[in-house]
Amino acid sequence: MGNPEIHQHRHTVGQAERMRLKPHLPACLWFTGLSGSGKSTLANAVEQCLNRDYRAHTYLLDGDAIRMGLNSDLGFSLPDRAENIRRLGEVARLFMDAGLIVLTAFISPLREDRARARQIVNTGRFIEIHVDCPLEVCEQRDPKGLYRKARRGDLAEFTGISSPYEPPLGAELTLHTDREAPEDCTRQVIQYLIKEGILTDAAS
Amino acid sequence: MGNPEIHQHRHTVGQAERMRLKPHLPACLWFTGLSGSGKSTLANAVEQCLNRDYRAHTYLLDGDAIRMGLNSDLGFSLPDRAENIRRLGEVARLFMDAGLIVLTAFISPLREDRARARQIVNTGRFIEIHVDCPLEVCEQRDPKGLYRKARRGDLAEFTGISSPYEPPLGAELTLHTDREAPEDCTRQVIQYLIKEGILTDAAS
């Protein structure tokens, strides 16, 4: 240990060593959309399919859970949302480096922030998935009662009501949860992953 | 998707589903010690052994790398060090939830901060490893020339010189890198993991 060159030993286990434990490539499935659009539902359905049918090693970074843990120091102002997404991009990068397929389910309302996450991840396997559902439908679903609160003015900076949502211009996938069944949406994601060579179609 | 109960579908892939892909339990190996004590060297050696001999799925969170990524907004004041360690604890928790053995190599100088990380991880498998090496030896090694800089006054808040290091009082393991060879230190960690039932001794 007295060797001045001890730092030569760094990074001895890299993506290649971890990859031989896994039947898929690492990737980031970045679900973006309004509150109530179905991001978490779809991300969970896709994760379940990947785990069950493809034995893929996955991890879901869910907005609410991360907000209570890693990003518990952040609020909902646009700068805090930017920092929220920056850290998520960094964590997604770590999980991909560890060889996983990581799924993120965050509103991530701004194009610039999503572009930054893509840049942080910095591979061809950042897959932006627009969970596209009209505001009226999301507001009607209102699974957490947040739209009602926001309309009453009890909730500031709420995306779609008092804070902007910028739909992606070049998403890898767009899913219409107002008119496509969850199973159809899930199938589209899986087929995309097979087409891109991230999964092999060994499950069939 | 119009179902108001859509949040019932959350967390369908949990630790149990991921565990069936892995031959070990998730754990956090938290290396703490002075700069130059050999944290990164040992963490790398342990990771390599876990990957090669046990086919364990591991990930190493290295101080320098995280400081350039996730925690690039933080400095070296004690509050920033506390936030650095808090976020690391949260990320370690996520990796454990994903089923991995996560190794962290950070100076993490304060007992209170390490106790908080342990609390965040919140399992019996937070293994604090004190990489114990006398300051004089670390300063003599000085692999990055940082002690020289700190002694010259060119580096503020440097642990051991101008910022405190509080050695653990109840570390799960203490390794003496000034008088034990790296292979012996690595063996002690592996044996501990086997003793605790985190690894099975199938490699032999």
Q: Which of residues 81 through 120 in chain B touch A, CB cutoff 8 A?
A: 83, 87, 90-91, 93-95, 97-100, 120
Q: What is the mean pLDDT of residues A28-57?
A: 95
Residue percentage of chain B with pLDDT more than 90: 77
Q: Which residues of A are catalytic?
A: 108
pLDDT at B3: 35
CB contact under 8 A, A13 and B51: yes
pLDDT at A21: 60
pLDDT at A16: 66
Most confident among A3-7, A80-84, B30-34, B199-203 (mean pLDDT):
B30-34
Residue of B nearest to A49 (CA): B13
CB contact under 8 A, A57 and B21: yes
ipTM (interface predicted TM) = 0.86
CB contact under 8 A, B93 and A69: yes
pLDDT tens digit string along A51-79?
999 989 999 998 888 999 999 999 989 89
If pLDDT is split at 50, 70 and 90, which confidence band does A202 have? low
Angle at B104 between CA B101 and CA B109, to 5 degrees: 145
pLDDT at A15: 65
Q: What is the mean pLDDT of chain A?
A: 89
Q: What is the mean pLDDT of chain B?
A: 89
Cα(B142)–Cα(B137) distance, rounded to whole angstroms? 8
Asked whether the beta carbons of A134 and A191 are under 8 A apart, the reply is no
Instruction: Say which residue the tokens 């779809």 belong to.
Output: A42
If pLDDT is split at 50, 70 and 90, which confidence band does A20 have? low
pLDDT at B16: 66
Residue of A nearest to B121 (CA): A69
Does the domain at residues B25-195 carry the CATH identifier 3.10.129.10? no
Give B2's contacts in chain A (Cβ within 8 Å): 137, 140-141
Burial of A17 (0-12, 13-18, 19+ CB in 10 A): middle
Cα(A21)–Cα(B146) distance, rounded to whole angstroms? 38
Instruction: Tell me which amino acid residue A127 is.
Output: I
Q: What is the mean pLDDT of residues A119-124?
A: 91
Q: Which residues of chain B have pLDDT under 70?
A: 1-12, 14-22, 202-204
Q: How far is CA A164 from each of CA A121, A133, A158, B59, rounded to the nearest angstrom?
A: 24, 15, 8, 37
Q: Please tell me the distance in Å from A9's CA to the nearest CA on chain B.
A: 6
CB contact under 8 A, B182 and A59: no
CB contact under 8 A, B133 and A83: no
Give Cα A176 distance to the centre of its chain.
17
Give B40's contacts in chain A (Cβ within 8 Å): 6-7, 9-10
**Model pTM score:** 0.88
For every residue of B41-92, DSSP letters joined together read HHHHHHHHHHHHHH---EEEEEHHHHHHTTTTT--SSHHHHHHHHHHHHHHH
CB atoms within 10 A of CB B164: 10
What's the order of all strands across the beta sheet hosting B58-62? B58-62, B101-105, B27-32, B126-132, B173-176
Q: Which residues of B are catalytic?
A: 108
Option in A2, A41, A178 nearest B141 (CB): A2
In this predicted structure, the answer to whether residue A200 has a pLDDT above a threshold of 90 is: no
Q: What is the mean pLDDT of residues A183-191?
A: 97
Residue pairs spanning A and B at CB distance below 8 A: 139
Residue of B nearest to A68 (CA): B90
Q: What is the mean pLDDT of residues A163-182?
A: 96
- B175 close to A (CB below 8 A): no
pLDDT tens digit string along B12-70?
676 666 666 567 999 999 999 999 999 999 999 999 999 989 989 999 998 888 999 99
If pLDDT is split at 50, 70 and 90, which confidence band does A3 have? very low
| Residue B83: both structure tokens together | 């936030």
Cα(A124)–Cα(A128) distance, rounded to whole angstroms? 11
pLDDT at A13: 72
Reduced to 3 states (helix: H, G, I; strand: E, B; else coil), residue B164 is coil
Domain A24-195: what homologous superfamily? P-loop containing nucleotide triphosphate hydrolases (3.40.50.300)
CB contact under 8 A, B143 and A181: no
Residue of A nearest to B95 (CA): A95
Burial of A126 (0-12, 13-18, 19+ CB in 10 A): buried
Domains of chain A: which residue ranges?
A: 24-195
CB contact under 8 A, B9 and A181: no
| Residue B55: both structure tokens together | 């086919």
Residue of A nearest to B71 (CA): A87
Instruction: Say which residue the tokens 């890299």 belong to.
Output: A14
pLDDT at B11: 55
Give Cα A202 distance to the centre of its chain.
24
Cα(B82)–Cα(A134) distance, rounded to whole angstroms? 42
Range A81-88 contact pairs with CB under 8 angstroms and sequence separation of 24 or more: A81/A108, A81/A109, A81/A110, A81/A113, A82/A110, A82/A112, A82/A113, A82/A116, A83/B73, A85/A110, A85/A113, A85/A114, A85/A116, A85/A117, A86/A113, A86/A116, A86/A117, A86/A120, A87/B70, A87/B87, A88/A61, A88/A117
Option in A11, A41, A100 nearest B9 (CB): A41
